[in-house]
């Protein structure tokens, strides 16, 4: 059963990537860090002291995935913030638990070539706005795999709801 849940989680993540890859961004992350009030929203954060700004996409399937990305192949960078369908405003701990995708707040992160699809193991997601028009909040998290640790700081997002 646990293998099936992992498979379903990965299938949803891959589906999210495929669907969102059809809407590419012409914005370079380093050139547009200050541009954060577009009608489409934003996902901003710092990784290794460098600021990034992605356009968000929201995908709903058992949970809500707010995702931003840029690049392809070895330059692919992405962040996915997973919220339960019945998420609430306020601060929530990030929990890595594939068996509870519908009740936990989780984050996945890729920054190829050095990091490929790592899940956060600690941190927080603070939902500051939940309305019929958008979801907004802040986040910070860290995780590690194979002895490599990553930390995301000063994260924020604003994504239109559909």
- Mean pLDDT score of the chain: 79
CB 129 within 8 A of CB 136: yes
Pairing mode, if any, of strands 77-83 and 106-111?
A: antiparallel
What's the whole-number mean pLDDT along residues 94-122?
A: 87
CA angle 111, 32, 110 (to 5 degrees): 10
Stated pTM of the model = 0.73
Q: What is the 3-state secondary structure (H, E, C) of 3-53?
A: HHHHHHHHHHHHHHHHHHHCCCCCCCCCCCCCCCCCCCCEEEEEECCEEEE
| Tokens matching residue 38 | 């577009």
CB 87 within 8 A of CB 105: yes
Distance CA 132, CA 126 (A): 18
How many CB atoms are located within 10 Å of the residue 82 CB? 27
Radius of gyration for the chain, computed over Cα atoms and rounded to the nearest angstrom: 15
pLDDT recorded at residue 27: 42
Which tens digit of pLDDT belongs to each residue from 36-92? 344 579 999 999 889 999 999 998 888 899 999 999 999 999 999 999 999 999 999
CB 54 within 8 A of CB 29: yes
| Tokens matching residue 133 | 């028009």
Q: How many residues does the chain have?
A: 162
pLDDT recorded at residue 12: 40
Distance CA 132, CA 139 (A): 21
Q: Output phi, psi for 121, to 5 deg.
A: -110, -10
What's the whole-number mean pLDDT along residues 141-145?
A: 88
pLDDT recorded at residue 148: 80
């Amino acid at each position: 059963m646990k293998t099936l849940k992992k498979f379903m989680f990965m299938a949803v993540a891959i589906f999210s990537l495929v669907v969102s890859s059809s809407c590419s961004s012409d914005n370079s992350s380093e050139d547009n860090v200050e541009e954060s009030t577009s009608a489409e929203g934003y996902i901003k954060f710092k990784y290794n002291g460098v600021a990034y700004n992605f356009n968000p996409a929201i995908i709903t399937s058992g949970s809500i995935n707010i995702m931003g990305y840029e690049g392809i192949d070895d330059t692919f960078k992405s962040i996915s913030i997973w919220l339960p369908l019945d998420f609430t405003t306020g601060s929530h701990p990030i929990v890595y638990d594939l068996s509870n995708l519908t009740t936990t707040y989780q984050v996945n992160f890729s920054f190829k070539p050095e990091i490929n699809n790592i899940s956060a193991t600690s941190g927080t997601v603070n939902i500051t706005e939940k309305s019929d028009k958008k979801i907004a909040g802040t986040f910070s998290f860290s995780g590690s795999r194979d002895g490599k640790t990553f930390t995301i700081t000063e994260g924020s997002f604003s994504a239109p709801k559909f």
